[in-house]
C-alpha cells in the first residue's frame, strides 16, 4: 500500500501534527492495520479505501482504533485532493463519526466537524493533583474528553504531564486550555495516555470542544487557536450552529513511501 506522512495544522515540515495516511484498494485485516500503526508510532495512522462514491476512513493510534480524529482527517483530505482526486476541491469520508468533509478554501483546508456539547464537571482532588494547580473551570465534551481551563498561557506551556495521574481522570483525553497570546484567542495542549498517546501535538477533535467553549466565553463565532506543544500548530474554528463547526488549517507533505509487509 502507499503511505504518506503529512504534517497537519502547519505549513512547515517538523511542525504541526504528523499523521500517516495509507491508501489501499481493499481492507487488510485489523491486526495488520494495528501493526502498521504501532510501527509508525504516530498519534494517528489513517487507512483509506474508496467504496462506491465515498472514501471510507479509519483512524488508529499505536494501541487502538478511535472514533474521531481531526488532524488525520485533514491529512487524509490533503492526500486525496493532492494525489488522487486532483481536480476536486472537496472530499467526503465515511467514518465512525459519520460523513466528514474536507474542502480546499482560500489556500487552507476546511473540515466540517461536529460541534460537541459541553457539560460542567466537578473539580476533584485528582484533577488538581494531575494539573498541579486549581483550574478555573472544568467541562466535559459529551462522552469524550475532559477540558480544564487554566488562568494563563504560561501554565499551559509549562505543564509537565504525568501519564499515571492523567489516566485517573475521566474522559478519553485531557485537554488544558487558557486565553491565548497575540492574535490567538486561546491556547491548549492535549494528552491521551489512555489511548497510547502521552501528548498529541495538535488535536483537531479536541477543538470540536475547545472552540465552542471559547466561542461562548468570548461571545465570538470565529476562534483562532494555538496548540502550545513542542511542535506547535494553528487552527481556526467557526461555529455554524449547535451541531456543526468548521475547523481550518494548513498541511504539508513530509514523506511518500511504499509499505512492504512481506
Q: How far apart are the C-alpha atoms of 176 and 212, rounded to whole Å?
A: 14
Closest C-alpha among 193, 149, 202, 148 to residue 172: 193
How far is it, in rounded angstroms, from Cα 162 to Cα 35? Answer: 26
Q: Produce one character per residue of 224-261: b if its CB has 16 or more CB atoms within 10 Å, e if not.
A: bbbbbbebbbbbbbbbeeeeebbbbbbbbbbeeeeeee
Instruction: Compute the distance between CA of residue 209 and CA of residue 144 in angstroms, rounded to an integer.
Output: 9
Active-site option among 39, 44, 199, 243:
44
> What is the Cα 39 distance to its own chain's centre?
20
| CA 51/CA 64 separation, integer angstroms | 23
Residue 44 catalytic? yes
Q: What is the DSSP letter of 104?
A: E
Nine cell digits for residue 94: 465515511
169: its cell numbers: 481522570
Sign of CA dihedral 23, 29, 30, 34: negative
Name which of 241, 254, 248 is nearest 215 in CA terms.
241
Residues 6+ apart with CB under 8 A from 117: 141, 142, 212, 242
**What is the CA 68 to chain-centroid distance, rounded?**
8
Q: Which residues form the catalytic set?
A: 44
Amino acid at each position: 500500500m502507499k503511505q504518506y506522512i503529512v504534517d497537519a495544522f502547519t505549513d512547515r515540515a517538523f511542525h504541526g501534527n504528523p499523521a500517516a495516511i495509507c491508501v489501499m484498494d481493499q481492507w487488510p485485516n485489523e491486526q495488520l492495520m494495528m501493526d502498521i500503526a504501532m510501527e509508525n508510532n504516530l498519534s494517528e495512522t489513517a487507512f483509506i479505501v474508496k467504496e462506491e462514491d465515498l472514501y471510507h476512513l479509519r483512524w488508529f493510534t499505536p494501541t487502538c482504533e478511535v472514533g474521531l480524529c481531526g488532524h488525520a482527517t485533514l491529512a487524509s483530505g490533503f492526500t486525496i485532493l493532492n494525489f488522487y482526486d486532483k481536480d476536486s476541491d472537496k472530499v467526503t469520508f465515511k467514518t465512525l463519526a459519520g460523513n466528514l468533509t474536507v474542502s480546499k478554501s482560500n489556500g487552507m483546508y476546511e473540515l466540517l466537524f461536529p460541534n460537541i456539547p459541553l457539560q460542567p464537571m466537578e473539580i476533584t482532588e485528582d484533577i488538581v493533583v494531575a494539573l498541579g494547580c486549581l483550574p478555573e473551570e472544568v467541562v466535559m465534551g459529551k462522552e469524550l474528553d475532559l477540558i480544564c481551563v487554566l488562568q494563563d498561557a504560561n501554565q499551559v506551556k509549562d505543564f509537565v504531564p504525568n501519564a499515571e495521574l492523567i489516566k485517573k481522570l475521566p474522559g478519553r483525553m485531557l485537554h488544558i486550555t487558557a486565553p491565548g497570546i497575540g492574535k490567538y484567542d486561546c491556547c491548549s495542549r492535549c494528552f491521551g495516555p489512555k489511548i497510547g498517546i502521552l501528548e498529541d501535538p495538535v488535536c483537531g477533535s479536541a477543538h470540536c470542544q475547545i472552540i465552542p467553549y471559547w466561542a461562548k466565553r468570548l461571545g465570538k463565532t470565529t476562534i483562532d487557536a494555538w496548540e502550545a506543544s513542542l511542535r506547535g500548530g494553528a487552527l481556526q474554528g467557526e461555529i455554524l450552529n449547535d451541531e456543526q463547526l468548521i475547523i481550518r488549517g494548513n498541511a504539508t507533505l513530509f514523506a511518500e513511501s511504499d509499505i512492504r509487509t512481506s
